[in-house]
Amino acid sequence: SIFGILSITALSGIGPILSQAVSRGMEGSLFLALKAKIKWGLIGSLASIGISTYYYINGALILAFAFLIASIFIPFMNALNIYQDYLLGKKKFKDSSISYSLSQLLAVLIVILTLFLTKNLFVIFIIYLSSWTLIRLFFFIRTIKKYPPNNRIDPATISYGKQSSFIDFLA
């Protein structure tokens, strides 16, 4: 739950704004949005490191290491999922549905396999986060190779995305 809350800093509301920009032909906004999501996600990483430090100082080593591990993935895991919003903006609904379904299936299978192989909580957590991140990276790269974005950028994407993310944060 806390991982999800810390991930809000990665501009969670920018996706629909990007979809709108892409649907208007401003496909170059994809890379701008990805950079912004990663940059702002670093705030969540710093917060996670702060929480990790707190738990370490208070002797809760399991939680300290869990938050330290999470801090590595916060800027990237959800940021790479922006390819979904890009596909929706390009009206590639079939590709969006297929990639979403495959990523869900692969992540679940990897975690189930991990649960059969180990009972180590840290290994399970690392596999969970890294599998989601790598799956999303794969589909991001696949998407931009299949549908290369043009160079047109909507400069309002980031500012509107920040506003939308702030509203998400309040919720």
pLDDT digit string (tens) for 20-64? Answer: 889 999 999 999 999 999 998 999 999 999 999 999 999 999 999
pLDDT band at 7 (very low <50, low <70, confident <90, very high): confident
Tally Cβ neighbours within 10 Å of residue 119: 9
Tally Cβ neighbours within 10 Å of residue 18: 30
pLDDT digit string (tens) for 75-86? Answer: 999 899 999 999
Listed range (45-49, 122-126, 135-139, 156-160) with the worst mean pLDDT: 156-160
Q: How high is the pLDDT of residue 171? A: 62
